[in-house]
Structures are given as structure tokens and as C-alpha cells.
Structure 1
Amino acid sequence: MPIRLKLIIIFLVVAIIPIIFVSLVTFHNYTSSMEAFRFSQMRYLTANKAERIESYFNNLAANIEIAAGNQHVTGFLDNQLRKLESILGLNTIFLVDRTGKAIYVKNPLHRESALSNFYQEHKKELEAGKKGVFFSDIYPDSSSASGFSMLATAPVFSSGKPGGVLTGIIAFEVDMAVVYRLIQDVNGMGKTGETLIGKKFGNEVVFLNPLRHDPQAPLKRRITLGGRAGMPVQEAALGKTGYGEYSDYRGVKVIAAWQYIPSLGWGVVAKIDESEAFADIMNLKKLVILIILIVIFLSALMAVSIAQSVSGPIKKLTEGAQIIGSGNLDYKVGTNLNDEIGQLSRSFDKMTGDLKNITASRNELNIEIAERKKVEEALIAVNKELEAFTYSVSHDLRSPLRAIDGFARILMEEYNHKLDAEGKRQFEIISRNIKRMGELIDDLLELSRLGRKELACSSINMKEALDSVMEELKASLGERKVEFLVKEIPDAPADRVLIKQVFINLLTNALKFTAIKKNVIIEIGGNPEPGRNVYYVKDNGVGFDMQYANKLFGIFQRLHGQEEFEGTGIGLAIVKRIITRHGGEVWAEGKVNEGATFYFSLPK
């Protein structure tokens, strides 16, 4: 094994293994701590919400017992109703005699319906209320703020105390909005966290509150017991308390904690999506991997550098000795090293220098310069001949193209009635291609003309030139709505006619590639920079992929098909030719379906 490879392997092993070990230990400790923190947070939130719910219903039970125990219950209710409603969130209060007849309803909105059928609608709850304080199940109620209510009922005795004669039943109708406020506070639960309550009915768990991901959930969303989805709420509804990682009712992985409220038969669950809860772990994982890769890369560079510093001079000296031994006295093996190898290499160079003194011949240098000059002159001549040939070919193609167009029109006019639909379609294709060929010839002539035209540079008002171009283009827009935003644009020394052509081509290009947009915005502006001014035309059209940006300004280069957007593919090439002749540059930036920005610079 070469000494260089041995040194690289040793250095990498010594440098990388400790870094990987430390990174893995750090990542493991952080992951364990984060998991413990998240589960602790969910358990605290669940316990807190369950405690607040129980506290509310204990308070509600105490108040209904106080009201039921007052011998003058109706007078007591009249005096205390406003206070009870505001504190406990009640819709109304009912008093029913022992036969089921509603004899007191405080809220006028409920009075008529309550007096007629209140007992029949709530027979189960009222009968249960004869034995003691009873909380009903949640039921839909369009008159409540939340759309759902529940009843709290208690017996009323003649003596005001249990053991007396049962004279009736008192019922508090609770708006569930007050309970929902207790559990739906999502502070500290991120973007996906939520608290929910559910209750077991038969072999199903029914959700009792609106959910963050399903506002219509109360009494509508159900989960079958034993299913794989919604395990936390299943466990809670079955009277269990715990925490863990499961799939929730959406089938999404979550971390959750749950607790059972025996007095209500409710299960409370606090949960948050696993992807959000452990986002910091994933970020740390990416960071650790990045650090390890960077360390490996830097270690490899250092290993190669150190190995090269040791083995390189030895290899170079060996090769130099072989080359010089073969008769090539021009070869140098000298190094800047101050060790024995460096001294030996310099001795080799001195020996070869003494054998042959190489000097550069002035005549040879002049011959080389002359040859390069001839090549440059030949290149200029070829470019001029190419421009002349392009102009000649484009010009000579006009006459036969006009003849083809003329004969096609005559055939369409005189034999139109003899052609079937397919024949007419083919003639239309001929006409469109003749038109496109004409546009292509015109663009080629314009491109050729730019190569021969002398620049007539003067200080021009770029704003006036742009306004003139925009007036011409606006006249051709018809009913199309386009918003032009003209920013500050500095003046510059340039050929006014050619610069107007640049703006025409860039604005026409912007209009073409925003044709499918409803709200078109085209922004034109410029900024002074050291030694030059930079101008831009920005649109919100279809944009382009930046990996093809180098093709934009080439002749006949197109990033979109002819069937999508018409054009010859020469407009931007003309822009580049004009700006290049002015000593400037052109470039573009864009994103697919987000628009494009075309820049050009002019020297000051």
C-alpha cells in the first residue's frame, strides 16, 4: 500500500471516529430529553383540563343543590338568576313539579316550548334528578351559543332538605360554550395540538367538542372501539389514564396523554402531531449529519494535504530523475521544502540548468504574435462574411415567399368552394407557416442589420424612450388589461433607436409570456452601479427554469413550444446583440409559474 494512502486512512480514522461517537451520544441524550418533555407536557395539559372540567361541574352541582334546598326556590332563582347565568354559563333555569309540569321558566325564549313539552323531551334527565344531582348527555341546541347544551337536574323537597316530600325538580340548562372554552385553549400546543373529550356509547366513542381539525365533530364524529384509529380517546373513554404514541382519529401519528373523568363518564385527551412535537429532533438530526459530513470532508482534505506534503515531493523527485535521465533537461524538480528532499531536488535543478540554458527567442515570440494576429483577422472576416450571407439569404428568400403566399391566396379564393374541410385546414396551415417564415426572415434581416449599423450614441432620456415604446404597445393591447409599473430609471449614453428596440423586444416578450395570466403586472426600472447602469423588465408570467437561462439569448432558442407561445426565437438574440455592441451585458432570472426578470447594463 502506498505511503500516501496509509497516511490518509490513519488520519481519517483518528479524526472521524470521536466526532461520530460524540454526535451520536449527544443526539441520543437530546432525543430522550425531548421525548420526556413532550410526554410530560401532554400529561400536564390533560390533568389540568380534566381538573378544570371537574371543578366547573362540582361548582355547578353545589349551586344547583343550594337553589334546590331553598324553600322559596322561585324567589331565590329570580334574585340569583343573572349571577348564576354569568358565572355558570346557563341558558335558562326550569322548575318542574313532581308530575312533570313545567311551573317555572326564567328565559322567555324557552317558556312556551318548555311549558308544553319540556317533560317529554327530557323525561330521562328529570326522573334521574329526583334521586340527586344528575348531569345529562350533551344534546344539540340551536338556541345556545355553541349549538350544544346539557342539563343539570336536582330534586326539590318541601322541607328544603333530603328526606322531605319531593315537590319538584330543578334543571339548569348549561351552554356547552363554557365547557369548550375550558378545554379548547391551545396555548403552548403549537399548530397541530388540541384537547378533546369523548364518551362511550355502546361500541363507539362519540366526540363531544369541536376539534381543531374538525369543527363539526360534536356528536357527529365517532370511532368504533377496538379500531386502530383514535386509540388515545378509546382508552380515555374506557376509563383508562395513560400516555404514548398512537394514531389519532385522522390516522396521523401523535403523542398524547389521556385521563378519565368518572363523574361525567368523559375521556379527556391532549395531543399534538408527532411531526411537530419532534421537529426539533429532526432538525438536530439533520444538523448532526451535516456536521459529520463537514468534518469528514475537512478531515479528508487535511488528510490528503498532509499525505501529499509528505509523499508528493518524494514522488516528484523520483519522476524528475527518470525524466531527466531520459534526456529532457528542461524539466525542473525543485521544491520549496527546507528538508533533505528539498535540497536534493534543488541540486537536480542546478545540474540541469548548467547543462542547458533555455532562453526565449525574440524572433520566435514575434512569429507567434504575428500568427495570432492573422487568426484574429481571419475570424473577423469570417464573422463579416457570415453576417453578409445571413442578410443575403434572408433578403433573397422574400421573393419566393411572397410568390408562395400569393399563389396560396389565389387558390383559396378561386378554389375554396371545391375544397373539403381537410383541404381548407391544410391551406390555413400553409398560410400560418408563410406568415411565421416572413417574421423569421424579418428578424434575421434585423439581426444582420444590427451587425453593420454604426452606433449613434448620445445621452438619452431613458424615461422618455420607455414612454414612447409603451404608448406604441398599449395601442395594440385592445381590451387586455395590463398594469405597467415604471420605477426610477437613470439616463445613459446610447443609441436611442437601438435602445428603444431593446425595450420593445423585452416588453413584447413580457406581454407574450403573461398572456395566460388574469392580473398582469410588468415592472420596468433601473439602478446606477459603479461604472454602469443596470435596467430591468420584470413580469409575473409563466417564468422559466434557471437551468436553461444560458439558452435564452441564443438565436432560435425557445424554452416553450410554438403551440404555447408564438415567436421566432430571435427577439432576445437581438437584445443581446444591441447591448453587447454598447459594451454592456444581458442576463435573466426567473422561476417556473412565478415570472421572470430580464436585465441589461450600459456603461456610464
Structure 2
Amino acid sequence: MLLIALYSYHNIKQQIISSQLSHLQAIAKLKSLQIDSYYKEITNDMHLIQNSPYTKYFLTFDSIGDIHFEQLFREQLNEYVYDNEINNIYIFDPKGNLIASTDKNVHFFPNSHCINAFEKGKISLNFSDIYRSKMADIPMKSTYIFYASSPILDSNHQLLGVIVAEFSADTFFNEIQDYTGLGVTGETLLGKRLGNEIVFLNPLRHDPNAGMKRKVKINGTIARPVIMGTMGNIGDGVSIDYRGEKILAAWRYIPSTDWGLVAKIDYKEALKPLEAIRNSIIITSFVLLLFGLVASLKIANSITQPVDMLESEARADSLTGLPNRKLLMEILSQALDKAKENHTVIAVLFLDLDGFKIINDRYGHDIGDLLLKSVALRLTNSIRQSDRVARLGGDEFVILLSGVQNNLTITKIANHIIRTLNETYAINNLSLTIGASIGISIYPDDNAENADEMLRQADKAMYTAKNSGKNHYRLFEQI
């Protein structure tokens, strides 16, 4: 029986490792989708400015001496900065002369990174590397900066000028380095290959001064997960991190940025539930000597309980990889506490799909599951980088909006989500169409005291929207 107990211990250990790796893979997948969505959003911002009639008119005609038009153009650029969270916008002519900028104190290239962005922006849309700002130690200034640049062409595809936009990566890094669901030792990190070395892009949880500085050799023995990710691989397993510590890790390659992403947790913390099992085995050994086979079978049965508890504590939705209800409530509670402390606005959008049940009943659960995965992907790509999407179960999803400026921004996002979900889905040679009813709770407008109450308010508003015609949104304050 002792051999059976030891076998059970080994078997349960493998189950815990497998469960943890699945959880890390779900987190890594979610973070990679957020990165793709973030850069897709920036690409759209650049195209919007690039194709603005203000921009092309300013570069096509001799309007530099027109003070009134220059003021209008600068106001237009400032609106882009305000609405799209861009630090500064610079407009250059093909020779590199700065002809318009949102930065009133700059009359030439701000720095060498901007010059490099300008040169690459003559050819096509380009994103610079992320680097530490020289003004990082100044209060209210961004710590990490990158540039996006793009050519401005006339109708004959001749170069009129180049737009260079400066972005702060601070919010982006904060989102990628969200440790929720990763325990005390877990973290997510990004790396990029430069020759025969890998450079860590973001500050590291266990070495906060290492961001943008620490490098590891591709053929080295440490930091193997980030090396695997930046080399174009997707996988998971037991490995060694940049500290030389034994870890469980999942890694992914992100083609759109040529980065490697890693989600990891220390091996010791991941296997902490085994301590209780090990103690159970020791007790089992003594009981076998004293009470015989019957008592030992009862205790052996209790050994498997930590595995069931571990599974019940999983925080990622198994179908879509999105946060589930448990993880959502943790995230929402943290966001609500931060909003109360900083006097900021957050919103919860409770979303229920219209017409999903009919499709699920007609075509079967396999088609229904594929449709839910497509909805999850569209939702992830439709929100801002700072927002979160979760699946509660069935066809119910929740979106958390943080740092919104006003209610108009919230309702614009809700309308955008509804339009996006209304577009036809092509699944297994089927053309499927669904709608979405959304209920919205806003803090502090709706005076929710906690995360549960805020979610209930949004749920109630969603049912009001569904009962009044479906496929639209309703604010809690309107019911």
C-alpha cells in the first residue's frame, strides 16, 4: 500500500504540473492577444492621422504662412493626442524639416530615436524598439517610450511627408505585467532577439532595474523560456529563468512584433499543494501499520482531494482562455479599489449574445463553441489595451473599462462592440449572424459599493436592454 501511496503522489504531482502549465498557456495566449490588439489600435490611429484631409492639405498646399490654418491643424493634432493617448505627434516634410508638432517646445528632431523613426517612416508603417526615456525620473513623465512612423502619400503615391508619433509604453507594460492569477513569484515578461542575444523589454518583477538592460545569450543556460519564445516557438514545461531558478513556464512567439512572451511561476510555489499530500502519505504509512487495509484506503482517497481543490481554483476559462468569473471578480475588485483611491471612472459592460441559443441548438455544441471562441477574439480585438474581457459562462461575457474619460467614451465603445459582433461569422462553411445586448454599470455614477454590486447592476441593465428589443445597450442609471 505504501507503493500505491507513492505512485499516487507521483501521479498527482504530474496532474498539478499539467494544470499549472495549462493555466500559464492561457495567460500567455491572452497577453499575446492584448499585444496584437494594442499594436492594431496604434496602426488604426496612424492611418487616421495619415489620411486626414487636414494633414494632406497642409502638406500639399503652401499653407505654412496661413496662421489661421496652422492653428486649426495644430488643434486637430492635439485632438488625436487627447483621444488616442499619444504623447506627441510630429509632421515632417520629405527632407526632414519639422513643419508641425503638438510639442510647442520642439523645433527640430527631439532625439536620435525620432530621426531613425522618420527615416524608416518614409518607406512604410514602422514601430521603433521600446526604450527608457531620458525624462523617466521627472514626475508625470513616461518611463518607457516608443515611436510609430508612417509615410504620407498623395494620390500618385508620391511622398508628401512623414508622420512620427511618440507613445508611452507605461500603460502597456502595466497591463502585460498584471500578476493576477500568477501567485507570489509569477510574472510575465517580453524579450526580443538582437543578433546572438535576447534583450528583456519590460521591467522584471524580481529585478525591476533590469528592464531594457539585461541581456542573455541565445546559447546560454538561463532564461530558456524567453529564448524559446523569441526564436519563434510556442510551448511550455519545466525550465530555468533569468535568475537561474527552477520554474514552470509557458512561452509564445508574437509574429506581429517579433517578440517572445513568457508567463511563469516558481516551481516550489506551483507544487506547494504537494506538501499536504506528502504529509498525508507519511500519515498513511503509519496508519497502514496500525489499522490495516481499510483505514489506508480511506486516507488514500483523501490524498486526491487537493487535486480537486486545485482544479476548482483555476481562473481561466477552458474554452476561450479568457479570465473566468473568479479571476474577473479579483480584477474588478482591484480596479474598483484603485478607482475609489484615485477618483477615476471605471465601467462594467455585461454582454449576452442574442441568437446564440438558436445556432447552438440547430448546428450543435461544436459549432457553438467555435462561435464563442470567435466572439472572444473579436471582443479582445475591439477594446483598448487597458481594458479586460472575461467569460462568465455560456454566452455571457463581461468587459471592464478602466480610466475612461466620460460616459460618451463608454457608450461609443459599447456601440463599437455591438457593430463588431453583428458582422457575419464564417464557421465550417456556415455564415452565422448574432447580436448582443449590453448592460452598463459605471463607477462612481451608479454608487456601487463593491465588485458584486457593480456586476449585478450591469446584469440588470443588460436584461432591460434585451427585454426592450435586443442588440443595443442600456445604462444602469436609465432603469
Matched, 1:228 2:221: yes
Please, which of 62, 66, 74 is the counterpart of residue 48 of structure 2? 66
Look up the match of 2:268.
275
Give the unaligned 5+ runs of structure 2. 59-71, 296-479
Give the 4+ runs in structure 1 shifted more than 6 A.
none
Equivalent in the alignment of 1:23: 5
Alignment partner of 1:47 out of 29, 33, 41: 29
1:177-576 matches, within 5 Å, as: 177-298=170-291
SS at match of 2:171: helix
The answer to whether 1:105 aligns with 2:101 is yes
Q: Which whole-Å CA distance do the structure 1 matches of 2:264 and 2:217 have between them?
A: 19
Indicate conservation of the 8 Å contact 1:244/1:256, yes or no. yes
Distance 1:129 1:265 in 2: 18
The higher-RCO structure (CA 8 Å, 6+ apart) is 2
Partner of residue 384, structure 1: none
Q: Secondary structure at the match of 1:255?
A: strand
After TM superposition, the score normalised by the length of structure 2 is 0.54
Q: Deviations over 1:371-410 (max 9, x none)?
A: xxxxxxxxxxxxxxxxxxxxxxxxxxxxxxxxxxxxxxxx
Match of 1:132 among 124, 128, 137: 124
If each structure's helix is expressed as a fraction of its own residues, which one has the higher value? 1
What is the identity, as a one-letter code, of the residue corresponding to 1:62? Answer: N
- Change in CA separation of 1:274 and 1:210 when aligned onto 2, cut-off 3 Å: same
| Structure 1: segments with no counterpart, 5+ residues | 1-16, 303-604
2: CA distance, partners of 1:200 / 1:76: 40
> 8 Å contact 2:92–2:163 — kept in the other structure?
yes
Which of 155, 160, 163 aligns to 1:167? It is 160
SS in 1 for 2:257: coil
Name the SS of the counterpart of 1:95 in structure 2. Answer: strand
Select 1:155's aligned residue among 151, 157, 174.
151
Is residue 53–residue 182 contact of structure 1 (8 Å, CA) maintained in 2? no
Instruction: Tell me, in whole angstroms, the C-alpha distance in 2 between the residues paired with 1:260 and 1:77.
Output: 39
Which residue does the alignment assign to 1:421?
A: none
CA contact under 8 A between 1:70 and 1:76: conserved in structure 2? Answer: no
Per-residue CA shift, 1:274-323, capped at 9, x if unaligned?
Answer: 000111123312322232234325559x9xxxxxxxxxxxxxxxxxxxxx
| Counterpart contact for 2:77–2:102, Cα < 8 Å | no
Sort the Cα spacing of 1:254 and 1:266 in 2 relative to 1 into closer, same or farther, 3 A. Answer: same
Query: 1:101–1:119: 8 Å Cα contact kept in structure 2?
Result: no
Give the one of 115, 127, 133 matched to 1:141. Answer: 133
1:245 maps to amino acid: V
> Displacement, 1:137?
0.8
2:14 aligned partner = 32
Shift of 1:148: 1.5
SS of equivalent to 2:173: helix
**Secondary structure, counterpart of 2:109 in structure 1:** helix
Distance change >3 Å, CA 37–CA 84, structure 1 → 2:
farther
Q: Provide the C-alpha distance between the structure 1 equivalents of 2:283 and 2:142, rounded to a whole number of angstroms.
A: 50
Rounded Cα–Cα distance in structure 1 between residues aligned with 2:148 and 2:53: 19
SS in 2 for 1:142: coil
| Partner residue in 2 for 1:79 | 76
Whole-angstrom distance in 1 between the partners of 2:111 and 2:186: 41
Q: Offset of 1:182 from its aligned partner?
A: 2.1
CA 1:104–1:83 in 2, change beyond 3 Å: closer, same or farther? Answer: closer
The aligned amino acid for 1:203 is N
Deviation at 1:204, TM superposition (A): 0.9
Residue 62 to residue 227, structure 1, CA distance change in 2 (3 Å): same
Shift of 1:121: 4.6
- How many residues end up aligned between the 2 structures? 275
- % identical aligned pairs: 31
CA distance, structure 2, for counterparts of residue 247 and residue 185 of structure 1:
21
Shift of 1:25: 4.4
Preserved contact between residue 127 and residue 148 of structure 2 (Cα < 8 Å)? yes
CA gap 1:197/1:76 in 2 versus in 1, 3 angstroms = farther
Given the alignment of the two structures, is residue 122 of structure 1 paired with residue 114 of structure 2, yes or no?
Answer: yes
Q: 1:180 offset after TM fit, Å?
A: 0.3
Quick one: distance in 1 between partners of 2:110 and 2:154? 22
**Structure-2 separation of matches of 1:180 and 1:199:** 15
How far apart in 1 are the matches of 2:120 and 2:83?
26
Greater CA drift, 270-279 or 280-289: 280-289
Q: Does structure 1 conserve the Cα–Cα contact (< 8 Å) formed by 2:89 and 2:164? A: yes
Q: Deviations over 1:107-142 (max 9, x none)?
A: 33xx32xx2334755332212111221001112213
Deviations 1:36-87 (A, max 9, x none): 1111011111111011011000110111012101121275663363454454
Distance in 2 of aligned mates of 1:77 and 1:275: 56
The answer for the alignment partner of 2:361 in structure 1 is none
CA distance in 2, matches of 1:156, 1:167: 5
- Taking structure 1 as reference, are residues 235 and 146 closer, same or farther at Cα in structure 2, changes over 3 Å only? farther
> What's the CA shift for 1:92?
1.0
Indicate if the aligned counterparts of 1:67 and 1:76 stay in contact, CA closer than 8 A.
no
Change in CA separation of 1:146 and 1:276 when aligned onto 2, cut-off 3 Å: farther
CA deviation after TM superposition for structure 1 residue 178, in Å: 2.0
Instruction: Tell me which amino acid in the other structure corresponds to 2:190.
Output: I
